[in-house]
Amino acid sequence: MENNSERLNARLYSDTRPSSEYYDRFNAFIKRRYGESATLEWIEDRSIKKGFRLEIGDHIYDWSDKGLFSQFKDYVGKLQFPEDKPVIPLLTETLKEWAPKAIAEELGVVLTVGDGIATVSGLDNAAYGEILLFDSGVKGMVMELKHDRIGCILFGEGELIVQGSAVRRTGRTAGTPVGEKFIGRVIDALGSPIDGKGEIGYTEFRLIDNPAPSIIDRQSVSEPMETGILTIDSMFPIGKGQRELIIGDRQTGKTSIAIDTILNQKGKNVVCIYVAIGQKANSVSQLVERLTESGAMEYTIVVNSSAADCASLQYIAPYAGCALGEYFMEKGRDVLIVYDDLSKHAVAYRTLSLLLERSPGREAYPGDVFYLHSRLLERAARLSDKRGGGSMTALPIVETQAGDVSAYIPTNIISITDGQIFLESGLFFSGQRPAVNIGLSVSRVGSAAQTRAMKSAVGTLRLDLSQYREMEVFTQFSSDLDEATNNKLIYGRGLMYLLRQPRYRPLTQFEQVVLLVAALGHVMQDIPFDKIAAFKRGFLDYIEREKPELHYLIKSDTALTAELKKKIIALAEKYKNTADLNP
């Protein structure tokens, strides 16, 4: 029983006045539930043809046709029907079993609305993250709880909501539709298709903010997620279930690395998800066109919340994409998800927090901005065999200003992830692309995510390049170099040219291995730098044509023998002597 010391006025709406018997029964129910001080008033409402609607304070008991249908629809929505049976007989059977209940529905009132934010009073039992339904049909999500009102973000046109309009609780947290049929489609942050190909049949709804897998549910990262980029696969390998940050200034090739990685998953049974946050619609359209031309859309889902969308949609977009990825991961499949980019995601969250009047902290970000990304990226994992053995590999992208990796958001995400690929503007504009800074980049999983063939092929590559970069700095102050130093510089510069790779041309592991063996065998020592790209292409074509059996000799699970390395180096020398590589 709920007692209330204040006088409550209960209003009963129906098309005809209830009889004295029913009037007494309503009065008895109200006094039993809300106390002796409650009074009942009947109001004629001809829009209610059958049944009634009882309003007491901010509670509503809606037993009109519309209210009962809504209650039945919510009941059906929680059921799961077998896919192989017709829906109509099942609904008929469900209707016979269903019985309506006298459930009080809370009713709130809009106090203020604007900039994608609404404040509401009257919903005392609303929970953080709960979805609210406004009279106009727009949905919102609770983001701020205060003693006298709640603040919620809107997932639709705020112009349709007016001050004083009604708001209802749904009792549900935000979710997104998921299913196999989403593969190959472009959707928005709410899971609706935006590619003009019609509706998408979904299998189930998943919460967009699920807890991350526990330690017991995970296993170590040991299988490679090959990017097809020689620099990364050789020195900063990424494993399935890892979180590797791609960081750098604007226009340094961050998205290109992510797209090349997606292209390299063709034929490997990996579901790829690209989440575009705050990007220009034209840029996303070009990206989808590129993926389609390459055949990559056959295994890719694009979740787009463009710069034209409100901050609330940009805020939930990565969580919706992650929920899609979890659906496939829990079915035992491997997933690659790209968040492009989390800098804009953090800005969208800061906008929402300031509009909700939260206390600002460093750079005006709210105090929980670290939790914003940690609860997202921690959901990437490689599940244990008991959980199906699926994996979700995350490639978050972060934009820096003037190469400052010590800024607030970059340092937060660096501390969450398992390594970072740092792209340097100076390298990019000098023609070194991908412009990976070898000194600042790292993969904390390391060689555990490399195949044995790649480990043996890489050798001392990173050490040689580090020595070259260090020597290059010192030689800027001296023009008189001995022959040994000059040879090391030429060798190091040749390695840098070897690592140059055009966009949308990922290399297979076989191609990477033979190129590394040839380069570390000093075959390219005397090739002019501007001819190294031609040597790479020609040498790979030469092997395919003359020695295709090398594909069977170089196996991922076995290390390269000294004899096999000598054979590759001899082939490279033979091709170099026959090819036209003169300056």
* Residues classed as catalytic: 444
Asked if 44 and 17 count as a contact pair (C-beta separation under 8 A), the reply is yes
The backbone torsions φ and ψ at residue 156, rounded to the nearest 5 degrees and listed phi first, read: 175, -170
Beta-carbon count within 10 A of 319 CB: 21
Q: Are 114 and 129 in contact (CB under 8 A)?
A: no
Q: For residue 277, which phi and psi values (nearest 5 degrees)?
A: -115, 115
Question: Closest Cα partner for 453 from 209, 276, 234, 281?
Answer: 234
| Strand-pair category, 300-305 with 186-187 | parallel
Closest among 41, 42, 40, 33 to 4, alpha carbons compared: 33
Q: Read off the DSSP letter of residue 181.
A: G
Q: How far apart are CA 277 and CA 179, in angstroms?
A: 22
**Which stretches does DSSP call E strand in 129-229?**
130-134, 139-145, 150-154, 166-173, 175-178, 186-187, 204-207
Q: What SS3 state is found at 363? A: helix
Query: How far from 302 is each of 183, 563, 568, 575, CA to CA, in Å?
Result: 9, 46, 41, 43
Beta-bridge partners for 423:
248, 436
Burial-class residue 133 by CB neighbours within 10 Å (0-12, 13-18, 19+).
middle
Residue 146, sorted as left (phi over 0), alpha (psi -120 to 50) or beta, turns out to be beta
Which alpha helices (H) appear in 417-475, and where do they start and end? 425-429, 452-458, 461-475
| 323 φψ region: left (φ > 0), alpha (ψ -120 to 50), beta (else) | alpha
